[in-house]
Amino acid sequence: MNRIINDPEMVADETIAGVLKAFPELLSPTAHPRVLRATQQRGPGKVGIVTGGGSGHEPAFLGFVGPGLCDTVACGEIFASPTAKSFHEAFKVADTGAGVACLYGNYAGDNMNVKMAIKLAAKDGVTVRTVVANDDVASASKEDASKRRGVAGEIMMWKTAGALADESGSLDDVIAVAQKTIDATGSVGIGLSACTIPAAGKPNFTIAPGMMEVGIGHHGEPGVAVMPIKPASEMAGLMLDRILEDKAFGKGEDVAVLISGLGATPIMELYLLYNHVDEMLRSRGITPRHRFVGNYFTSLEMMGASITLTRLDGELDRLLGKPAHSLGLTVLGR
Amino acid sequence: MNRIINDPEMVADETIAGVLKAFPELLSPTAHPRVLRATQQRGPGKVGIVTGGGSGHEPAFLGFVGPGLCDTVACGEIFASPTAKSFHEAFKVADTGAGVACLYGNYAGDNMNVKMAIKLAAKDGVTVRTVVANDDVASASKEDASKRRGVAGEIMMWKTAGALADESGSLDDVIAVAQKTIDATGSVGIGLSACTIPAAGKPNFTIAPGMMEVGIGHHGEPGVAVMPIKPASEMAGLMLDRILEDKAFGKGEDVAVLISGLGATPIMELYLLYNHVDEMLRSRGITPRHRFVGNYFTSLEMMGASITLTRLDGELDRLLGKPAHSLGLTVLGR
């Protein structure tokens, strides 16, 4: 493995240690070593925004904690859910009496541990409600949308819910806007190479040289089609068409677009991919009003990219444009 | 090649097209297709800051154009210098009558083309002065420091010079602070895998599996040592020791630290690497006052990372902390 690590079992812990030293103005420790909180204190009565997930997706998840985004984060082992205990701690730290919105991705381990943590928090008198991201339209049929995985679309709901919470939105309002955001969001990824969890030492899936996998998950979950690598223009079409059809995007609509590299794809190729996405959207009469292109939600050293689209109404447009500051996303505001 | 491209000869042009569509609030076109300017207009009389270099290092170079940083950028083919004509256009667009500071890296092609462009600009009555980054301490001996390559340390001089220009610094002052910054800056990289220029179709250098190359250049230029891959703690020591000795950093000093991934290394590993860098610096009585950790100056899909240190005095500390906004670097200010 050509990786910058020490003990393969300690990668997640040492990553957190590095983050706390590098970005103390953004992230601070809590009583639980796998739970971080925003350094900038929130006013009393603000709804707490919590997220959490496996490590290996950096800057997600810890990179989206900060003003205008999440308040605390629970960090799991690489590609594994945080424990119930860590979600519980994240809820406690985030609560200022107004309740907590836990906004996370649809994976069995996360669902189970969040559920357990909510019960523990209830005993402390902390109210927690959840929105579970299921934006990966390639991961199950539309009829089975509740089985779909959450991927980079989570960033969109952290942004809108975080902004509304900062505006003193109630827990009901914050949950409603997060749900509206993820319902309006679809994502599809393409993988061009596998990735290796350091403690495993070899990939737990393969993508043959010269091939690509459309709809691949963030942990190498099978996609919908394996085919020879196509030009970028065709990749963009394969991903976009699927999202546009599933979410029934149509002429005259405004969207937010997020392209994220999966970790090892050169950043220039993400810009090149955006060139096609922008052209294709505009040719269909769809206007990309917010544009995010970079490494936002990665999968270790997987090559490939994901495209995420969110249908905008006035409220989502406004909330996405509000200032936010974190390791993974800074918005200066308009 | 598992890459997101179309015609391999068109990657740089299509990257620029995508950037202009994705980030119109930051970057705008000029009369030359390979020259971009900051969208936010500068006041009259501000010294123009120009940079330029080969493509494939994204977000460098175009990602460091914006308020508090560079005004224009000339973009070359992948790993190749911009033309003299494009540097000339970049000078013309950046000049508001106060002269232009061209801050770029020490490579033969760039040196030649900048020199020619300065002659062309002189005929237009545009004064251009240069600072040539040579921060890669592994690329030549201290006695031959003028032969050293410029790498991620360029970001430090763009930041300080850009901030001083925004404060209405004169061309003399801006050039002086850029030179002071780069003189106070040392970098070393470690490569863990090669990279492939799309038009070539295969790597022009190799790093054997299980091996790493200390001091490797941003285009695969040979380093100072090839050895089996070490734990991250030892990698940090190998890079840091070389910089600390060369630049004679000592107890009680303040530094800025920049760790950049080379393109394909998981972002979590950069944080993990910072954990060691921070510990090692503090154990020597050196305080990291500004910390940048991410993909700032890449080499396509090379695996590995570079470490850059800048010795701070009061002026550099202040200028690094001033607000700046670009694709590759946003500083909110203190």
Residue A41: which region, alpha, beta or left (left: phi > 0; alpha: psi -120 to 50)?
Answer: beta
Token pair of A311, please?
């249908």
Alpha helices, H only, chain B: 11-22, 84-94, 108-123, 153-166, 171-183, 232-246, 267-283, 314-320
Contact A5 B269 (CB under 8 A): yes
Residues A189 and A215: beta-carbon distance below 8 Å: yes
Local structure of B216: helix, strand or coil:
coil
pLDDT of B44 = 87
pLDDT of B333 = 82
A3 has a chain B CB within 8 A of its CB: yes
Catalytic residue among A32, A88, A218, A219: A219
pLDDT of B116 = 98
Report domain extents, chain B. Answer: 8-183, 185-313
Give the pLDDT of chain B (334 residues) as one tens digit per residue: 899 999 999 999 999 999 999 999 999 999 999 999 999 988 889 999 999 999 999 999 999 999 999 999 999 999 999 999 999 999 999 999 999 999 999 999 999 999 999 999 999 999 999 999 999 999 999 999 999 999 999 999 999 999 999 999 999 999 999 999 999 999 999 999 999 999 999 998 999 999 999 999 999 999 999 999 999 999 999 999 999 999 999 999 999 999 999 999 999 999 999 999 999 999 999 999 999 999 999 999 999 999 999 999 999 999 999 999 999 999 998 6
Which residue from A272, A273, A263 is spatially nearest to B62, judged by alpha carbons?
A272
pLDDT of A334 = 66
Token pair of B313, please?
């005095």
Question: Residue B176's Cα: distance from chain center in Å?
Answer: 18
Could you tell me which residues are beta bridge partners of residue A268?
Answer: none
Q: What is the DSSP letter of B31?
A: S
Angle between helices B267-283 and A11-22 (to 10 degrees): 60
One-letter amino acid identity for B313? D
Contact B18 A278 (CB under 8 A): yes
Question: Based on the number of CB atoms within 10 Å of its own CB, is A334 exposed (0-12), middle (13-18) or buried (19 or more)?
Answer: exposed
B207 has a chain A CB within 8 A of its CB: yes
Q: Do you know the residue count of chain B?
A: 334
Instruction: Residue window 25-84, chain B: list those with CB within 8 Å of chain A.
Output: 55-56, 58-59
Nearest residue of chain B to residue A269 (CA atoms): B4
Local structure of A62: helix, strand or coil:
helix
For residue A116, CA distances in Å to A64, A113, A229 come to: 24, 5, 43
| Of residues A22, A265, A330, nearest to B4 (C-beta) | A265
Distance between A112 CA and the closest CA of chain B, angstroms: 26
pLDDT of B41 = 83
Instruction: Residue window 148-187, chain A: list those with CB within 8 Å of chain B.
Output: none
Residues A243 and A253: beta-carbon distance below 8 Å: no
For every residue of A259-304, DSSP letters joined together read EEE-BSS-HHHHHHHHHHHHHHHHHTT-EEEEEEEESSS--TTB-E
A192 has a chain B CB within 8 A of its CB: yes
Nearest residue of chain B to residue A288 (CA atoms): B22
- pLDDT mean across residues, chain B: 97
**A228-241: average pLDDT:** 98
User: What's the Rg (C-alpha) of chain A?
Assistant: 19
CA distance A191 to A303: 6
Residues B325 and A333: beta-carbon distance below 8 Å: no
Which residue from B6, B85, B71, B294 is spatially nearest to A269, judged by alpha carbons?
B6
Architecture category of domain A185-319 in CATH: 2-Layer Sandwich (3.30)
CA distance B34 to B74: 6
B300 has a chain A CB within 8 A of its CB: yes
Residues of A in contact with B298 (CB under 8 A): 266-267
* Active-site annotation holds for A57: yes
Residues B23 and B62: beta-carbon distance below 8 Å: no
A192-207 pLDDT, tens per residue?
999 999 999 999 899 9
CA distance A203 to B114: 46
Question: Based on the number of CB atoms within 10 Å of its own CB, is A141 exposed (0-12), middle (13-18) or buried (19 or more)?
Answer: exposed
A162-188 pLDDT, tens per residue?
999 999 999 999 999 999 999 999 999
Question: Residue B6's Cα: distance from chain center in Å?
Answer: 27
Residues B220 and B203: beta-carbon distance below 8 Å: yes
Contact B23 A192 (CB under 8 A): no
Which one of 3.90.79.10, 3.40.50.10440, 2.30.30.100, 3.40.50.720 gives the CATH number of domain A11-183?
3.40.50.10440
Residues B209 and B224: beta-carbon distance below 8 Å: no
Dmax (CA) for chain A in angstroms is 55
CA angle, A224 then A229 then A234, to 5°? 80
Complex ipTM tops 0.95: yes
Architecture category of domain B185-313 in CATH: 2-Layer Sandwich (3.30)
Residues B90 and B25: beta-carbon distance below 8 Å: no
Domain B8-183, CATH: 3.40.50.10440
Alpha helices, H only, B23-170: 84-94, 108-123, 153-166
